[in-house]
């Protein structure tokens, strides 16, 4: 398609949502290796300017990237083994001897845990990282969080995987003598986890550099909460709503909604915002500053929690009996701007648009999110229908919490499907492409489409079903599944709607 250069609207762009773990690889899970670099090439050929990923933190209970052992650390699963083979730290034969799971479309996390750490220990034993200037520099630059995280992981192994809430009292309370004792006793295990973080960040920044050099920016994801079972909560208990025995008073979640009649009981510790404010939000400044270095844009999950948050008594079985409490509001982000400058932030503002949330978004100026799938319900008008979009928003067909658009469309109620057919000018030949066109044609400055929607996959490719545990965060696309036709169609859409 040929057009005049002076017609090009440079603020319009588009991109793809795909978690790192959903990439193909030979060893059970997506990594920062060749397939990730190849995917950057796909984005470049398809004229996409953004790659949105999910949190890169090490996963804990339920394998969710939103429940991590550390908000600062990286997931060792994403360390590419072929790159370690190239460094002669491990051999291909050693990798091939391990069972990472046999299904190339789904991750087997139990096998992943056993095999991954086994081969990474071999790499550690063969490394000479302690003599490397780059490693020494990495440790010095990341001292506080790295020391806490590595000691935490070593202690978890020492206490048979238990959360810090169940450790011996003196180390649970971080008594200086106990801290020093365990640093000496667990020195090698601590160094092992430090080595893994060094490998992780070395590989990640190489991938990010390649993406940026090829015109692709990375949108990362920052969960609002940290996990209870985390180095963050253990090392900074004063920042959370804990009692004198460091037990949580209230925990995080959301009230009943369209996803769950019982609400969602996430169980994360809640922040003591008065204490955070008295410390000038220093921990938050460090946290947001860290992700601002990792990514080009930062999507903050559950942004509403900064305006008001749902607090659930710790011993409750579900989320129904919580109460709404006031968050820090603009005060936090005023401090972020003062200390860090203009961090490029996307506010995940899905759900009920309260007055407090609207005021906060207006003060911050951050773009919110619109999801087309939410727009077709009972034939009513909705903020998620493109005619109501503004330029300062990020438009999606669906997110990682939605089913695929193919499955969603296939299961629409008859009246809603009729409305969608008319609204999106859907033909019988390719309804999903017509739905994607509708989002691409909106006024939203940025459009992000989950990759499974471009592949037109069904429910088997769903990434997460909220309020469920066990079958989430597993889907991977297969090698060879991206055709030249798919890339060309995407590039064509990008041209037509002036998003390149």
442 CB burial (10 A radius; 0-12, 13-18, 19+): buried
Residue with tokens 């007055």: 355
User: Using CA atoms, how far apart are residues 111 and 93, in angstroms rounded to an integer?
Assistant: 18
Contact 251, 314 (CB under 8 A): yes
- Going along 21-106, which residue ranges are E strands? 50-52
Helix axes 282-294, 143-158, angle to 10 degrees: 90
Query: Phi then psi for 15, rounded to 5 degrees?
Result: -165, -175
Length, in residues, of the chain: 500
Give the residue from 6, 13, 11 showing the smallest Cα distance to 499: 13
Question: How many Å apart are CA 131 and CA 153, to the nearest integer?
Answer: 23
167, HSE (Cβ side, Cα atoms, 13 Å): 26
Distance in angstroms (rounded) separating the CA atoms of residues 142 and 132: 16
Positions marked catalytic? 301, 348, 401
Instruction: List phi, psi (to 5°) of 324.
Output: -85, 135
Residue corresponding to tokens 């979009």? 389
* Whole-number Å distance between alpha carbons of 70 and 62: 15
The dihedrals phi and psi of 126, each to the nearest 5 degrees, come to -95, -5
Strand 50-52: give its sheet, edge to edge. Answer: 345-347, 297-300, 217-222, 50-52, 13-17, 446-450, 393-396, 368-371
Helix (H, G, I), strand (E, B) or coil at 74: coil
Please state, as a whole number, how many other Cβ atoms lie within 10 Å of the Cβ of residue 168: 13
Q: How far apart are CA 177 and CA 198, in angstroms?
A: 28
The C-alpha atoms of residue 142 and residue 384 are separated, in whole angstroms, by 41
Strands (DSSP E) found in 175-239: 217-222
Q: Rounded CA gap, 244 and 172, in Å?
A: 12
DSSP designation for 162: -
- Pairing relationship of beta strands 13-17 and 217-222 according to DSSP bridges: unpaired
């Amino acid at each position: 398609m040929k057009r005049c250069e002076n017609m090009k609207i440079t603020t319009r762009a588009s991109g793809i949502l795909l978690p790192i773990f959903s990439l193909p690889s030979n060893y059970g899970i997506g990594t920062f290796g060749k397939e990730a670099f190849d995917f950057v090439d796909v984005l470049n050929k398809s004229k996409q300017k953004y790659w949105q990923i999910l949190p890169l933190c090490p996963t804990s209970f339920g394998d969710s990237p939103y429940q991590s052992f550390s908000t600062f650390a990286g997931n060792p699963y994403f360390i590419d083994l072929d790159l370690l083979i190239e460094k002669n730290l491990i051999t291909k034969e050693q990798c091939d001897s391990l069972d990472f799971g046999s299904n190339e479309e789904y991750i087997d996390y139990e096998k992943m845990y056993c095999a991954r750490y086994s081969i990474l220990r071999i790499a550690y034993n063969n490394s000479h990282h302690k003599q490397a200037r780059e490693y020494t520099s990495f440790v010095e630059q990341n001292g506080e969080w790295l020391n806490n995280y590595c000691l935490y992981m070593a202690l978890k192994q020492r206490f048979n995987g238990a959360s810090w809430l169940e450790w011996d009292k003196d180390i649970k309370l971080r008594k200086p003598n106990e801290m020093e004792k365990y640093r000496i006793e667990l020195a090698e295990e601590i160094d092992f986890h430090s080595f893994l973080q060094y490998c992780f960040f070395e590989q990640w920044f190489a991938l990010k550099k390649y993406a940026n050099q090829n015109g692709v920016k990375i949108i990362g994801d920052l969960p609002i909460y940290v996990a209870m079972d985390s180095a963050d909560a253990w090392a900074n208990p004063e920042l959370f709503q804990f009692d004198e025995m460091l037990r949580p008073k209230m925990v995080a979640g959301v009230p009943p909604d369209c996803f769950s009649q019982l609400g969602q009981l996430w169980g994360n510790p809640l922040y003591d915002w008065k204490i955070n404010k008295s410390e000038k939000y220093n921990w938050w400044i460090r946290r947001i500053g860290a992700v601002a270095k990792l990514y080009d844009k930062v999507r903050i999950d559950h942004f509403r929690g900064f305006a008001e948050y749902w607090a659930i008594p710790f011993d409750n079985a579900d989320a129904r009996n919580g109460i709404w409490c006031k968050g820090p509001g603009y005060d936090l982000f005023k401090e972020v701007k003062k200390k860090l400058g203009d961090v490029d932030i996307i506010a995940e503002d899905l759900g009920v648009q309260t007055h407090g949330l609207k005021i906060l978004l207006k003060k911050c100026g951050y773009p919110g999110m619109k999801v087309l799938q939410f727009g077709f319900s009972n034939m009513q008008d909705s903020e998620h229908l493109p005619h109501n979009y503004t330029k300062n928003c990020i438009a999606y067909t669906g997110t990682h919490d939605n089913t695929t658009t193919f499955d969603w469309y296939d299961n629409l109620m008859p009246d809603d499907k009729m409305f969608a057919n008319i609204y999106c000018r859907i033909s019988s030949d390719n309804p999903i492409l017509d739905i994607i066109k509708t989002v691409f044609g909106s006024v939203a400055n940025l459009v992000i489409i989950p990759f499974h929607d471009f592949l037109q996959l069904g429910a088997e490719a769903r990434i997460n079903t909220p309020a469920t545990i066990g079958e989430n965060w597993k889907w991977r696309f297969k090698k060879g599944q991206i055709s030249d036709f798919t890339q060309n169609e995407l590039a064509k859409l990008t041209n037509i709607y002036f998003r390149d």
